[in-house]
A and B are shown apart, each in its own frame.
Chain A
Amino acid sequence: DAGVTQSPTHLIKTRGQQVTLRCSPKSGHDTVSWYQQALGQGPQFIFQYYEEEERQRGNFPDRFSGHQFPNYSSELNVNALLLGDSALYLCASSLAMRGPNNEQFFGPGTRLTVL
């Protein structure tokens, strides 16, 4: 049973560039959430995708956008990168029908460095 996978593991970009991060949810899961974790901080919720739609969004600018595909995998896109976007980006998957009292499974993360 495959867990949550993310690619790439590490990424280095320069300011102003665009980046795409990818996530495959745990087998059988249909909901993907993205989190940003700055160094020394807790993860912050970016947005959540279910049925290929953005269902909820945290306090992040429109430079952050996403997509969910019919196979439930997801992409996170960040445009016009800023130095402050350097962080660990975590993807979490869950099963919507289980409601709020269910576990979110996290992937290993993508470490993004913006120079």
Chain B
Amino acid sequence: SQQGEEDPQALSIQEGENATMNCSYKTSINNLQWYRQNSGRGLVHLILIRSNEREKHSGRLRVTLDTSKKSSSLLITASRAADTASYFCATGLRMDSSYKLIFGSGTRLLVRP
């Protein structure tokens, strides 16, 4: 079963606008990561935020984490047509000597030129 739930499931915006995606999760985590996937291909890592961090930036990306609410948000500013993709949050969970990612169901972003 999925750990995270992204909201919204789909988002359509105009080029130049900002896109905000939200993610909620259920259990304690070591970190939360955001990935992008183009047309059912491999996942591209965007950003990792640790459980003791509240906000992180990378270029046009801004991620926030609220562990008390078990939620995170991804903001893409000044969106471009090339940002059209599916975006997934994944919680990093350590168990014994290993570590796995638990993904949400994703937000499908369409940026109209």
Instruction: Indicate, yes or no, whether A interacts with B.
Output: yes
Min CB distance B100 to A, Å, is 5
Q: Is the CB of A55 within 8 A of B41?
A: no
Report the Cα distance A99→B30, complex, angstroms: 10
Decide if B95 touches A56 in the complex (CB within 8 Å).
yes
CB-nearest residue of chain A relative to B45?
A: A103
Contact partner of B101 (CB less than 8 A), chosen from A37, A55, A104, is A104
Within 8 A of A (CB), among B67-113: 88, 90, 92-106
A42 and B92 within 8 A (CB):
no
Known contacts A101-B92, A103-B48, A104-B45; is-contact A45 B31 (Cβ 8 Å): no
| A99 → chain B closest CB, angstroms | 7
Q: Are A43 and B88 in contact (CB under 8 A)?
A: yes
User: Does B22 count as interface, using CB distance less than 8 angstroms?
Assistant: no
Q: Are B41 and A108 closer than 8 Å at their CB atoms?
A: yes
The number of chain B residues with a CB under 8 A from chain A is: 32
Q: Measured between alpha carbons, how far is A108 from B50 in the docked complex, in Å?
A: 26
B2 on interface, CB distance cutoff 8 Å: yes
Instruction: Looking at the assembled complex, report how far the CB atom of B49 sits from the nearest CB atom of chain A, in whole angstroms.
Output: 10
Interface of B is mostly: strand
A103 touches B33 (CB 8 A): yes
Alpha-carbon distance between A35 and B50 when the two chains are bound, in angstroms: 22
Whole-angstrom distance between the Cβ of B18 and the nearest chain A Cβ: 23
- Kindly state whether residue B59 has any CB partner on chain A within 8 Å: no
The interface residues of chain B lying within 8 Å CB-to-CB of A42 are 2, 4, 88, 90, 103-106
Interface string of B1-39 (1 = CB under 8 A from A): 110100000000000000000000000001101010000
Contact, CB under 8 Å: B103 / A99: no
